[in-house]
């Protein structure tokens, strides 16, 4: 059984004969980006384990004690995210979602994948630039005081804790899970409808796990906000 979706073939060709390679690189960097999100949310979820001892601080210390950390971040995190984001923005503005014409489930997945991508771009800018101090010291993250500064960042304003981060976590979890599902098709790992359905259940589990970890961390941070003096 086939389903009509907003196919990549509806996109204008970019890069000429290199379009295929660019698309595969976009998929590969998405997998790296997705892997980073999974690890990031799992680490953040350790905030729920409390501060006696401070498990989250211990995890942050382990990360920052890695050799060649800056090189690792640029090769496996920053550059993949930058490429995936830039190429993804081009896809968003040149894609042709056709949910109005073909009201199939996969078309809606495609549509929400593009919507979530735009949300994630805005969320990343706020998250990264805020924690780097560009929006004021109240949002700045200090690795040496990870828990305290994270709580200060999240609880700086009600909209950060109850709007920006829940929306960012939801968009990231959905984009990650649906991206993993489509990546398996892109790389020829799930050819049959049965294989795609089975992998779909796994991706639903990925969504539930990442969204659960993200919200667990967020609720724990809000709870700690009443106990940590800013």
Q: Residues 36-52: pLDDT tens digits?
A: 999 999 999 999 998 88
What residues make up the domain containing 141? 8-225
Would you give the DSSP letter of residue 80? H
CA distance linking residue 224 with residue 48, whole number of Å = 9
Least confident of 5-19, 149-163, 181-195, 196-210: 5-19
Residue at 1 is within a domain: no
Q: How many domains does the chain have?
A: 1
CA distance linking residue 215 with residue 157, whole number of Å = 17
The pLDDT confidence band at residue 70, using thresholds 50, 70 and 90, is: very high
User: Quick one: CA torsion of 175, 177, 181, 186, rounded to 10 degrees?
Assistant: 50
Q: CATH number, domain at 50?
A: 1.20.1300.10
Q: What is the pLDDT of residue 20?
A: 83
Element (H, E) at 120: helix 105-131
Which among 10, 28, 44, 37 has a CA at the least distance from the CA of 175? 37
Q: Check pLDDT > 60 for residue 61.
A: yes
Phi, psi of 93 (to 5 degrees): -85, -5
User: CA–CA distance from 12 to each of 7, 9, 15, 128 (Å)?
Assistant: 11, 8, 10, 32
Phi, psi of 165 (to 5 degrees): -75, -40
Percent of the chain with pLDDT over 90: 75
Residue at 230 is within a domain: no
Residue at 170 is within a domain: yes
Q: Check pLDDT > 80 for residue 9.
A: no
Percent of the chain with pLDDT over 70: 87
Q: Check pLDDT > 70 for residue 214.
A: yes
Residue at 63 is within a domain: yes
Residue at 79 is within a domain: yes
Indicate left, alpha or beta for 68 from its phi (over 0: left) and psi (-120 to 50: alpha). Answer: left
Task: Say if CB 186 and CB 204 are below 8 A apart.
Answer: no
pLDDT, one tens digit per residue, over 75-108 is 999 999 999 999 988 888 886 666 656 567 788 8
CA distance linking residue 216 with residue 230, whole number of Å = 21
């Amino acid at each position: 059984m086939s389903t009509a979706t907003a196919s990549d073939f509806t996109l204008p060709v970019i890069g000429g004969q290199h379009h295929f390679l660019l698309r595969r690189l976009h998929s590969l960097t998405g997998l790296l980006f997705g892997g980073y999100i999974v690890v990031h949310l799992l680490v953040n979820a350790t905030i729920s384990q409390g501060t006696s001892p401070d498990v989250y601080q211990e995890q942050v210390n382990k990360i920052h004690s890695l050799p060649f950390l800056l090189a690792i971040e640029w090769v496996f995190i920053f550059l993949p995210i930058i490429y995936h984001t830039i190429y993804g923005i081009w896809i968003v503005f040149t894609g042709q979602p056709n949910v109005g014409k073909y009201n199939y489930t996969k078309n809606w997945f495609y549509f929400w994948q593009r919507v979530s991508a735009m949300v994630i771009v805005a969320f990343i800018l706020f998250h990264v630039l805020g924690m780097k101090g560009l929006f004021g010291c109240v949002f700045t993250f200090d690795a040496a005081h990870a828990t305290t500064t994270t709580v200060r960042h999240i609880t700086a304003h009600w909209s950060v804790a109850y709007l920006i981060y829940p929306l960012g976590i939801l968009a990231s979890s959905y984009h990650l899970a649906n991206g993993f599902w489509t990546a398996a098709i892109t790389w020829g790992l799930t050819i049959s409808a049965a294989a795609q359905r089975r992998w779909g259940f796994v991706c639903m589990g990925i969504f539930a796990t990442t969204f659960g970890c993200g919200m667990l961390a967020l609720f724990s941070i809000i709870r700690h906000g009443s106990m940590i003096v800013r």
